[in-house]
Structure 1
Amino acid sequence: MGRLTSRVTRTGRQIGWYCGTLMGDNHYRRYVAHRTRTHPGEPVMSERDYWRMRYRTSEVEPRCC
């Protein structure tokens, strides 16, 4: 019974991670990691500004890298 519970829990976590990735839940975290790795010491956008910039459709801006 313990192995079954463990397997169900692990599968549930994997499904949650997959759905979160599809919905974009980790995009901001990846952005922050990228900025701190490639542009150390420079300011990082707030999460609110990041999403606003990401979904702005009227203007096209180049990426940093």
Structure 2
Amino acid sequence: MSGVTAKIRWYVRELTGESAYDRYVERERAAGHQPLSRREFEIRRMKARESDPRQGFRCC
């Protein structure tokens, strides 16, 4: 992958939140914990976002 392509990929992953799970897994493993599955992580993340009015809201 070229340098420009790698930078674009990194930017898109950060912008969309795709890299949040990767960072979560790294933190949990470093702490010696078993990380949640990707599905469970995303469910909890969505519930937390919807319960906090500072995070915005869903229209539908």
Fold match by TM threshold 0.5: yes
The normalised TM-score by structure 2 is 0.67
1:16-37 Cα distance to aligned partner (Å, 9 max, x none): 2111111111111110110111
**Greater CA radius of gyration, 1 or 2?**
1
Identity of counterpart residues, as a percentage? 27
Q: Secondary structure at the match of 2:18?
A: coil
AA aligned opposite 1:50: F
Of the three residues 1, 10, 20, the one matched with 2:3 is: 10
Greater relative contact order structure (CA < 8 Å, 6+ sep):
1
Unaligned stretches of 5+ residues in structure 2:
53-60
RMSD of the TM alignment (CA)? 1.7
> Which ranges of 4 or more aligned residues in structure 1 deviate by more than 2 Å?
none
Higher fraction of helix = 2
Q: Secondary structure at the match of 2:34?
A: coil
Unaligned stretches of 5+ residues in structure 1:
1-8, 60-65
Match of residue 30 from structure 2: 37
